[in-house]
Structure 1
């Protein structure tokens, strides 16, 4: 066997990954404004579009330029009804970009949710590391493929370790490919080789229907509820209001976990009228129990639930009444019809304790600082700012 083809997928350069996946001689690179590799090609004779992060470039992080390129490719795939192949090996968002990355991720999440709900076939082929916003990108796809040593979570291993998740080795085992694949559904564990990933992609393409993929959101909610079982961390968010009358509040400065996200999604479905969401949450959970359940999937499920309402003509207005950060912001702000921030509200990249454990430079606090009201609108983090009461 060719030595290149025998190499592990998760350690192969991005150019070798792309070359191994497509029909020989069919791929051509497309212009990019970021560190992403964009390509069109054929797989088993069927045209596909592909986006690949490059882990050799600053751990494959997603900055504003990467988010813009991704949005453009998702939109092109929808317009041409072409399956989208996502090669993701990324430490997540470019956190030292400050608040701007939240606006970029919000816009990207909106594009991904619209594509998913329209039935666009998307497959995520995962490399060594998939964290934060990159993990939410993976769960917007209709199928995920990864190797035993892939680590996939909303929060990186060192953040989970510092939050009390046990040793670093134990944390990595809990969020690795062998643990993830046990949940079944759209999860698929592969041998860590270029031929195995190429075969999985070929099988996926050949099994695709001729039309859009069906809506599986309701079945996903049932499956995620069963997964919670008796082992999930208890909900920490407080919900109030009357969803059937168009208002729902999620507060308590909680860190939203899997059970919270699923309850939130169910409450959103309880009304067929325009809905106003008021949120005051610190961010997403850092509890290893939530990551065992694949927190990213629960957050993306919540986002799809909110966005499906919007697609059905039921406006959802998000009001940020307190603090919000991380995955819960990306999920709900990306799904809402509009986002308004109250004078006392704030959006941060991550809770400061998490950011400090990732960024050790003195500018970590600065990049996470609260912005002026006009900055939220200019950066796309919110659409409007409420006038002081």
Structure 2
């Protein structure tokens, strides 16, 4: 094995460096992902890798389908799952189809996580959007100092008032991320360092499913919030007598909102209707510094744990919703309904405005015809046409 940079290496070299020599068995894929079965010592593992050389490793509907397939295979065969993620996020030119695909993928990942499937995310140079949520669905993350990990990309955050591009990159880089939580691991940017970290992780894995660490994570996320005390921006109201929880104000959902939402859901064991009317996830630098993706996935895991325990959680989209908060809530809910006046969009409009300044951007943020929501997997039912 040579000592080259992991984040600069090709996906082929990354895979070759990680597993026992000659043990790789490439699996069929219908997307740009590399899927493989391999060995680390005496342990059989499965791996899925994005290829940053193919359109920045973006996740389209085909990639989501392949990822869902390998997650299921890992559960069925009780093999740990290794995720090599180097991705600009969702394939936005697929419109709302990618939102439906990411919803289905999030459901699969949440179910696997709650079932105790060991998953490790080895991160390359860039991990944004839906790819960042994929990383935080794993039980451990490893990355290099130069890795950029955030719900929104650096230029979007810069345009939203996050400071200079250099400041933004510093705030969302590996040196900043590794300070948060015991599931984070900063590595030297070399192929041997990533291989050693993976081998050590596999060696320490128990033979039984991983325990539920959601409550411990809640404690850590609350402590992190307490150090900066960012204000909640959404209006979240619980009505136990009607069994509903509403998120309104057409605000963006930040870290404080996501944690408050999760805490309020945990406070009731009755069936709930979740009414959401907000523009999407936050673009504020303060939320990204806290690692917004982790708070959104924590909210999703909280919701899905209630669904696993038999509590019906019906998501009713009563206004506009987009981006990470849609993926988190729709992926976790028992069912999703588009209520009168509701619509799903690809991204928060402010985020899209920044992306559209790129000459290669060909993205539509229009909501689909109501008849297509169910077909695309964005919702399960549409309660009324408008």
- The normalised TM-score by structure 1 is 0.97
Matches within 5 A, 1:135-146: 135-146=132-143
CA distance in 2, matches of 1:10, 1:263: 36
Where in structure 2 are the equivalents of 1:30-41 lying within 5 Å? Answer: 30-41=27-38
SS in 1 for 2:89: coil
Show CA shifts across 1:58-78 (max 9, x none). 000000000000000000001
Residue range with higher mean Cα deviation, 266-275 or 54-63: 266-275
How many residue pairs get matched?
386
The answer to whether the Cα contact below 8 Å between 2:275 and 2:318 also exists between their aligned partners in 1 is yes
Contact 2:356 2:363 in 1 (8 A): no
Once the two structures are superposed, residues 279-331 of structure 1 have per-residue CA deviations (whole angstroms, 9 ceiling, x without a partner) of 00100000111011100000000000000000000010000000000000000
Partner of 2:200: 203
**Structure 2: tracts of 5 or more residues without a match:** none
Cα distance change of structure 1 residues 198 and 361 upon mapping to structure 2, 3 Å threshold: closer
Residue 269 of structure 1 corresponds to: 266
Q: Please state how far the C-alpha of 1:245 moved relative to its aligned partner.
A: 4.6
Compared with structure 1, are the counterparts of its residues 170 and 100 closer, same or farther at alpha carbon in structure 2 (3 Å cutoff)? same
Moved more, 92-101 or 349-358: 349-358
Partner residue of 1:69 out of 62, 66, 70: 66
What's the offset of the Cα at 1:230?
4.0
2:311 matches 1:332: no
1:236 equivalent among 221, 233, 236: 233
Q: Indicate yes or no: 2:188 matched with 1:188.
A: no
Pair 388,53 (structure 1): closer, same or farther in 2 beyond 3 Å: closer
Counterpart residue number, 2:39: 42
> Quick check: 1:56 aligned with 2:53?
yes
3-state SS, counterpart of residue 331 of structure 1: helix
User: How big is the shift at 1:353?
Assistant: 2.4
Range 267-276 or range 148-157, more displaced: 267-276
Give the equivalent residue in structure 1 for 2:214. Answer: 217
Q: Aligned pair 1:279/2:276, yes or no?
A: yes
TM superposition shift of 1:257:
0.3
Counterparts of 2:240 and 2:21, CA distance in 1: 54
* Alignment match, 1:166: 163
Q: Which has the larger displacement, 225-234 or 242-251?
A: 242-251
**Structure-2-length-normalised TM-score:** 0.98
1:310-325 aligned within 5 A: 310-325=307-322
RMSD (Å), alpha carbons: 1.4
Alpha carbons of structure 1 residues 145 and 316: separation in structure 2 relative to 1, 3 Å: same
